[in-house]
Amino acid sequence: MPDPVGIFGGTFDPVHFGHLRLAEESMAHLGLGGVRWIPAGNPPHRGQPQVTAEQRLAMVQRSTASNPRFSVDPGEVLSAAPSYTVDTLRRLRAEYGPAQPLVLLVGADAFAGLSTWHCWQEIFTLAHVAISHRPGFPVEPASLPAILAAAFSSRRTDDVGELGRKPAGCIVSFAMTQLAISATQIRKLLANDLSARYLLPDEVLDYIRTHFLYRNP
Ligand code: ATP
């Protein structure tokens, strides 16, 4: 079996060190060969991002370029369709074939909303799901909607080796370094002309400055 591939979607408005540590630490915790970053083009579950999909893609490309185990997939950004994770996973499953283990990486807050995602149950037929701990968002069935708690309890495993033995279907959680960083916090700082330095990579801050992003109108 080839090493599992991590699939990391998000709005990345903008990308920050919480995202980068999640992707980096997931490789060691879960035995991934690499992580494929997939910025959402037109995320249906939330308000419009503050900057364009191309700008969010450019920031992800800049922040990941020096890591040979990271790749960036522009598929959702280039598509006019709503960015449904299930559609992206169907595309990746067709690309990688039926045997390749795929691991969808989500933070605990994103996982708690999973049962509202389009065709969410199909996601488990296409990929494993790995939940990273995030400050303020407990990973426990009691804090999930009942239907998701049931899926969590039946699919959950503590044996990360299972991710490499099956192509899809398990749920694991992993404790990454806890970083209470959010894109919302960064957007607020920048809109108020306050420093966001050390919350995100300098090359992303340079891009934000050069393109006058996240400023108050
Ligand atoms: P926003 O504040 O705009 O909601 P965000 O910081 O949550 O943004 P997203 O692009 O929405 O960033 O997140 C992409 C993925 O990364 C999600 O699965 C989210 O749970 C996860 N994530 C984001 N920040 C962290 C963090 N600090 N720790 C762990 N996971 C995170």
Residue 186 lies in a domain: no
Q: What angle do CA 57, 58, 61 make, to 5 degrees?
A: 85
Considering the entire predicted model, what is its pTM? 0.97
Query: Measured from the CA of 108, which atom of ligand 1 is nearest?
Result: 20
Residue 201 lies in a domain: no
Pocket of ligand 1 (CB under 6 A): 10-13, 18-19, 22, 106-107, 109-110, 132, 134, 179, 181-184
Instruction: State phi, psi for 129 to the nearest 5 degrees.
Output: -125, 125
Overall number of domains in the chain: 1
Instruction: For residue 108, give the nearest of 141, 82, 84 by alpha carbon.
Output: 141
Residue 215 lies in a domain: no
Domain that holds residue 47: 5-180
pLDDT at 135: 85
pLDDT at 216: 76
Residue 161 lies in a domain: yes
Instruction: For residue 46, give the nearest of 7, 90, 83 by alpha carbon.
Output: 83
Residue 216 lies in a domain: no
- Which residue's alpha carbon is nearest to atom 31 within ligand 1? 107
Residue 205 lies in a domain: no
Ligand 1: distance of its center to the CA of 133 in Å? 11
Residue 25 lies in a domain: yes
Cα gap 74→131, rounded to integer Å: 23
Upper half-sphere CA count for residue 23 (Cβ side, 13 Å): 26
The low-confidence residues of the chain, meaning pLDDT below 50, are none
Can you give the CATH number for the domain in which 113 is found?
Answer: 3.40.50.620
Ligand 1: distance of its center to the CA of 72 in Å? 17
Ligand 1: distance of its center to the CA of 104 in Å? 14
Query: 8-30 pLDDT, tens per residue?
Result: 999 999 999 999 999 999 999 99
Residue 138 lies in a domain: yes
